[in-house]
């Protein structure tokens, strides 16, 4: 049985209060969407900020994996590798 990769998730300063004040947290998942779900499960106040009602990325946010926008990759289904860095960025 294989474990999902653990990645670092960078939290922007205005959203850190939703993540217990942390600038960076770790989360596990096979895709960007699973990582965001893991963050929301650990910090429930983060859920409505991360995801729209239809499950897509919430408006006003961008997510980068290794410096590339996940919108330019495979969106929330973009696979992640061990020790990658996921950055959440507010756009509005």
How far CA 53 is from CA of 8, 20, 47, 91, in Å, comes to 25, 23, 10, 19
Task: Report pLDDT for 2.
Answer: 52
User: What pLDDT sits at residue 1?
Assistant: 43
Contact 11, 19 (CB under 8 A): yes
What CATH number belongs to 6-90? 3.10.20.30
- pLDDT tens column, 36-92: 999 999 999 988 999 998 989 999 999 999 889 999 999 999 999 888 999 999 987
Q: What is the C-alpha to C-alpha distance for residues 29 and 12, in angstroms, rounded to an integer?
A: 21
What mean pLDDT do residues 25-36 have?
A: 94
Q: Where are the domains of the chain?
A: 6-90
């Amino acid at each position: 049985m294989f474990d999902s990769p653990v990645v670092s998730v960078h939290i922007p300063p205005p959203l850190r209060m939703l993540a217990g004040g942390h600038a960076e947290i770790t989360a596990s998942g096979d895709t960007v969407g699973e990582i965001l779900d893991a963050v929301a499960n650990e910090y429930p106040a983060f859920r409505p900020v991360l995801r729209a009602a239809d499950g897509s990325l919430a408006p006003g946010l961008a997510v980068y994996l290794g410096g590339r926008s996940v919108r330019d990759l495979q969106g929330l289904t973009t696979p992640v590798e061990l020790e990658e860095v996921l950055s959440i960025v507010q756009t509005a």
